[in-house]
């Protein structure tokens, strides 16, 4: 399909190359805007076509002889009289930047240096584009082949087009200028056979029609006929003849490419060690009508799609998908199907995409980092998720129990959500939001393992932030406990997070402002003074230590100091991801300092203590358990992820059956903390039973 560009903006109804004409052009669903730049006497980049100001302004003389201040004093006739000015390129960038980033709009900048050799123009425009962060959205063109060569020498990654009247002339200059596209006159598509000699895009521009003071004609070109001549783009004076008004039905969604990775045709997974490929490791959802559009024509891409069928082993066995996606591959990825054409998703599905360069060269990591300038993913905005019928009664019943409780701190409590693509996290958030609406909560506690942590550090961080943003949307204080999967150290992952990265992901802009944390540590506390309650969050897994599970010496020192400093008569809850004792942990024979931690907490339950520790609450085991045999209640919370396998669990624990599309798909609690009666009531939502612990 031939893409439509606005020639000098919408220049039939508004004066050419003005902010007014560009703003009007952006109202339409165009591919790009073409404009012209020159240099003032004091070296400023301005947008104007003619070397003389006579035709378009109320002034006389050559652009090169005016300073910017003098040019700004000139006026251009607009709809309301002589009101418009010659814009600077910086002003145009500022106007178009949001449209470029949101819609992928491209800007074709013609360097008007054929008749006037503006020295240093190439350096200035490249620097300005970089300063504005718009380098990926620009195509540079010129009738001066030396200028096109110069741009490529200064930055080989930029997109360029060679301008000439005839297509044959453009082709003759393509190789020597290393131009990425051919910009010829639409009336001189003089040799169809040349399409077999070049694969470069052909962007045809208007013939020399009269311009202001005579309005340019909006010649109605037959786009289908132009496509037969292998024209890929047409730059027209009247884009409104061809393009509908832009409707923001689809919103740009970010894509995160990883260099040296490719898609395995056999199973749809990703593989490393492919220097000439880059791939999205996160499997993303594509609602029907979503599109993938190539912005950088040096590349081609191929798509793998997946359906929403969940492999049973992910639910009914101890198993984690290495792609962090509960989907089934459609076996449609083919290395022979790389294309530059826009890809439209005809029905709802999931996907990942792989890119390669047309020249076959290796792709550096710096290219993967600019994914938004290479490939655009637009998807329809999704309606707010609604409560599903299978959860309606549970929402009402849970909210009734929470409302009935008085004098309590009311906390949403969950563990091990293991958020992945196409898991049932959306149901969890919707149900939690509904309960909070009917019975307002005081806070949210997540006991760790927000994601599977099987993807590299960057991708794990992205998915973790998505999960945290959903919980933050409740508008309640959020306490996050670090889990063993949260460091992306799992399943042989060779790219885990550093402790600094993990702290940044879990804590930055997440913890309540009043949370008290020592710098560069994972442990902290949060007070609810109106209930005389202090909550301690502990760190229980360090992949660099031996054994990995346990509590550092300095953390135990902090716990003792914090308990000692807790106001008299207060109550304390302690949250940990992992259990403190190895007999409660299927995978461990030893837990570093675990016994010492329990003994320390027991000390602060006696009559001599200034405060009282109510309980130690943890996740990790993916089962429910209450242990009262060690001088303090130790409570395990089941797995929020829909998972059911009773093996690999500690003795005397309970693993509840789970079923998809049934209330048991869910598992989380509302914890009611009564600091006057020293009771903890766990109101279960979904699989399992309510529990009350007398402390």
Estimate to the nearest angstrom the gap between the alpha carbon of 646 and the chain centroid: 36
Q: Which residues contact 198 (CB under 8 A, 6 or more apart)?
A: 171, 174, 182
Specify whether 161 is located in the same domain as 304: no
Please tell me the distance from the alpha carbon of residue 138 to that of residue 196, in angstroms, as a whole number: 27
Buried b (16+ CB within 10 A) or exposed e, 246-259: eeeebeeeebbbbb
Residue 677 tokens read as 């009666």
| The domain boundary residue, chosen from 224, 241, 258 | 241
Please tell me the distance from the alpha carbon of residue 673 to that of residue 105, in angstroms, as a whole number: 54
- Specify the residue for token string 């309510």: 690
How confident is the model at residue 295, as a pLDDT?
80
Residue 350 tokens read as 């999931």
Specify whether 200 is located in the same domain as 220: yes
Specify whether 464 is located in the same domain as 608: yes
Counting every residue written for the chain, the total comes to 695
3-state SS, residue 177? helix
Q: Which residues contact 347 (CB under 8 A, 6 or more apart)?
A: 288
Specify whether 345 is located in the same domain as 208: no
Cβ(635)–Cβ(688) below 8 Å: no
Q: What is the dihedral of CA 144, 50, 129, 100, to 10 degrees?
A: -110
Specify whether 287 is located in the same domain as 166: no
3-state SS, residue 336? helix
Please tell me the distance from the alpha carbon of residue 185 to that of residue 306, in angstroms, as a whole number: 44
**Greatest Cα pair distance in the chain:** 98
Cβ(352)–Cβ(294) below 8 Å: no
How confident is the model at residue 227, as a pLDDT?
82
Among residues 492, 488, 476, 491, the alpha carbon closest in space to that of 439 is found at 476
List, in sequence order, every residue forming a beta bridge with 259; answer none if it has no partner.
278
Nearest 5 degrees, angle CA 463-CA 468-CA 471? Answer: 135
Residues spanned by the domain of 643: 389-694
3-state SS, residue 432? helix
Please tell me the distance from the alpha carbon of residue 673 to that of residue 658, in angstroms, as a whole number: 27
Specify whether 264 is located in the same domain as 195: no
Span 397-409, pLDDT tens digits: 999 999 999 999 9
574 phi and psi angles, rounded to 5 deg: -120, 130
Please tell me the distance from the alpha carbon of residue 576 to that of residue 618, in angstroms, as a whole number: 5
| The domain boundary residue, chosen from 241, 264, 286 | 241
Span 675-694, pLDDT tens digits: 999 999 999 999 999 999 99
CATH number of 42's domain: 3.20.20.190
The structural domain count of the chain equals 3
Q: Which residues contact 590 (CB under 8 A, 6 or more apart)?
A: 547, 550, 582
Nearest 5 degrees, angle CA 382-CA 385-CA 389? Answer: 145
CATH number of 495's domain: 3.60.21.10
Cβ(7)–Cβ(21) below 8 Å: no
- Specify the residue for token string 């907490």: 601
Nearest 5 degrees, angle CA 491-CA 521-CA 668? Answer: 60
Specify whether 33 is located in the same domain as 135: yes
| 577 assigned to active site | no
Specify whether 550 is located in the same domain as 586: yes
Please tell me the distance from the alpha carbon of residue 84 to that of residue 212, in angstroms, as a whole number: 14
Residue 193 tokens read as 């056979």
Please tell me the distance from the alpha carbon of residue 73 to that of residue 86, in angstroms, as a whole number: 9
Specify whether 220 is located in the same domain as 342: no
Specify whether 213 is located in the same domain as 256: no
176 phi and psi angles, rounded to 5 deg: -70, -25
How confident is the model at residue 374, as a pLDDT?
87
| 49 assigned to active site | yes
pLDDT along the chain (695 residues), means of 10: 92 91 94 97 97 95 97 88 90 91 90 94 96 92 96 93 89 90 84 63 73 54 82 90 82 90 96 95 93 86 96 92 94 93 91 95 90 86 83 96 96 97 94 96 97 93 94 96 91 82 93 93 97 97 91 97 96 97 90 96 90 97 96 97 92 94 97 97 97 96
Specify whether 187 is located in the same domain as 269: no
Instruction: Provide the pairing of β-strand 159-163 with 138-142.
Output: parallel
Specify whether 460 is located in the same domain as 556: yes
| The domain boundary residue, chosen from 214, 241, 268 | 241
Q: Which residues contact 544 (CB under 8 A, 6 or more apart)?
A: none
| Strands annotated E in 89-190 | 106-111, 138-142, 159-163, 181-185
Using N-to-C axis directions, what is the helix angle for 89-103 and 121-131, rounded to 10°?
50
Give the count of beta carbons closer than 10 Å to the beta carbon of residue 530. Answer: 9
């Amino acid at each position: 399909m031939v893409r439509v560009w606005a020639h000098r903006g919408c220049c039939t109804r508004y004066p050419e190359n003005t902010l007014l004409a560009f703003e009007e052009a952006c109202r339409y669903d165009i591919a790009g805007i073409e404009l012209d730049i020159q240099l003032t006497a004091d070296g400023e980049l301005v947008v104007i076509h003619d070397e003389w100001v006579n035709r378009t302004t109320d002034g006389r003389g050559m652009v090169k002889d005016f300073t910017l201040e003098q040019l700004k004093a000139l006026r251009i006739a607009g709809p309301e009289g002589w009101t418009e000015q010659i814009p600077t390129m910086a002003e145009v960038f500022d106007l178009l930047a949001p449209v470029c980033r949101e819609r992928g709009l491209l800007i074709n900048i013609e360097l008007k240096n054929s008749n006037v050799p503006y020295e240093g123009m190439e350096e200035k425009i490249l620097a300005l584009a970089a300063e504005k962060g718009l380098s990926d959205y620009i195509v540079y063109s010129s009738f001066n082949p030396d200028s096109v060569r110069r741009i490529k020498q200064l930055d080989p990654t930029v997109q360029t087009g060679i301008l000439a009247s005839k297509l044959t002339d453009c082709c003759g200059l393509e190789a020597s200028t290393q131009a990425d596209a051919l910009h010829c006159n639409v009336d001189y598509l003089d040799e169809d056979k040349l399409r077999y000699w070049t694969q470069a895009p052909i962007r045809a521009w208007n013939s020399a029609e009269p311009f202001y003071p005579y309005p340019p004609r909006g010649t109605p070109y037959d786009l289908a006929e132009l496509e037969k001549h292998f024209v890929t783009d047409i730059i027209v004076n009247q884009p409104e003849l061809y393009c509908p008004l832009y409707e923001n039905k689809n919103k740009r969604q970010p894509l995160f490419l990883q260099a040296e990775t490719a898609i395995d045709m056999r199973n749809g997974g990703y593989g490393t060690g492919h220097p000439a490929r880059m791939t999205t490791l996160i499997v993303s959802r594509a609602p029907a009508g979503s599109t993938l559009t190539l912005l950088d024509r040096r590349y081609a891409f191929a798509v793998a799609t997946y359906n929403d069928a969940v492999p049973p082993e992910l639910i009914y066995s101890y198993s984690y998908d290495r792609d962090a996606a509960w989907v089934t591959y459609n076996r449609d990825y083919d290395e022979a199907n790389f294309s530059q054409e826009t890809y439209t998703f005809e029905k709802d599905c999931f996907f990942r995409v792989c890119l390669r360069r047309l020249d076959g060269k290796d792709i550096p990591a710096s290219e993967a980092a600019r994914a938004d300038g290479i490939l655009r993913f637009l998807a329809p905005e999704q309606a707010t998720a609604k409560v599903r019928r299978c959860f309606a009664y549970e929402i009402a019943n849970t909210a009734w129990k929470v409302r009935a409780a008085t004098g309590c701190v009311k906390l949403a409590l969950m563990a091990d959500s293991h958020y992945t693509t196409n898991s049932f996290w959306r149901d969890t958030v919707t149900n939690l939001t509904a309960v909070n609406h009917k019975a307002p909560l005081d806070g949210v506690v997540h006991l760790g393992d927000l994601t599977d942590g099987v993807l590299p550090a960057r991708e794990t961080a992205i998915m973790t932030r998505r999960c945290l943003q959903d919980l933050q949307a409740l508008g309640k204080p959020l306490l996050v406990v670090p889990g063993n999967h949260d460091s992306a150290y799992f399943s042989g992952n060779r790219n885990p997070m550093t402790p600094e990265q993990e702290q940044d992901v879990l804590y930055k802009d997440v913890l309540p402002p009043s949370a008290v944390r020592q710098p560069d540590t994972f442990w902290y506390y949060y007070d609810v003074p109106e209930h005389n309650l202090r909550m301690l969050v502990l760190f229980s897994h360090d992949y660099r230590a031996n054994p990995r599970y346990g509590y550092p010496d300095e953390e135990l020192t902090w716990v003792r100091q914090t308990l000692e400093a807790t106001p008299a008569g207060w109550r304390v809850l302690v949250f940990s991801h992992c259990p403190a004792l190895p007999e409660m942990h299927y995978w461990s024979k030893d837990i570093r300092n675990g016994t010492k931690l329990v003994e320390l907490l027991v000390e602060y339950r006696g009559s001599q203590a200034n405060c009282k520790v109510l309980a130690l609450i943890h996740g990790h085991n993916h089962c429910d358990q209450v242990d009262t045999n060690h001088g303090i209640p130790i409570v395990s919370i089941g797995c929020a992820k829909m998972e059911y396998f009773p093996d690999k669990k500690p003795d005397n624990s309970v693993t509840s059956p789970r079923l998809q599309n049934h209330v048991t798909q869910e598992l989380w609690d509302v914890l009611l903390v009564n600091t006057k009666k020293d009771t903890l009531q766990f109101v279960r939502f979904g699989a399992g039973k309510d529990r009350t612990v007398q402390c």
